[in-house]
Amino acid sequence: MKHLIIAALLTLTTALPTIAMADPGSSCHFHGKKMAAESTVLQCATQRKASLIEAGKLEKNWASVQQASIDLVDGKKSKEWRVIYKNPAATDSARTSLYLFFTPPGNFIAANHTGD
């Protein structure tokens, strides 16, 4: 019985690191304070937009919309990346713009249609 418990614990300790790793869809998680390149933030924004569409929070016609602009703005705590998408085909006229906000290293903060 003692050997069975030891074998089970060894199996778990070798399997846990694999289980704890992020899935490929979570590639936009960064540590440190190094400023992300614009291209990195745009890639993360594209992934986030796709996940919002998949979750039903955005209409499917947002899928083909390219970013209109990207810039650094003053956020509540510090600078933030702001990526703006414009979709004139959106069914709700109050939701023709999508704003995605990211930390300077590139971690997602929030998304909205107001820009606040």
User: CA 62 → CA 24, 49, 69, 109, distances in Å?
Assistant: 22, 8, 15, 20
Average pLDDT over residues 88-92: 89
pLDDT band at 77 (very low <50, low <70, confident <90, very high): confident
- Percent of the residues in the chain that have a pLDDT greater than 90, as a whole number: 61
Of the candidates 26, 44, 39, which has an alpha carbon nearest to the alpha carbon of residue 100?
A: 44
* Cα–Cα distance measured from residue 1 to residue 87, given in angstroms and rounded to the nearest whole number: 64
pLDDT at 93: 87
Report residue 80 CA to chain centroid gap.
14
pLDDT at 24: 44
Answer yes or no: is pLDDT of 106 > 90: yes
- Is 107 within 8 Å of 95 (Cβ atoms)? no
Residue 40 tokens read as: 């990195």
pLDDT per residue as tens digits for the range 9-50: 656 555 544 444 333 445 788 898 899 999 999 999 999 999
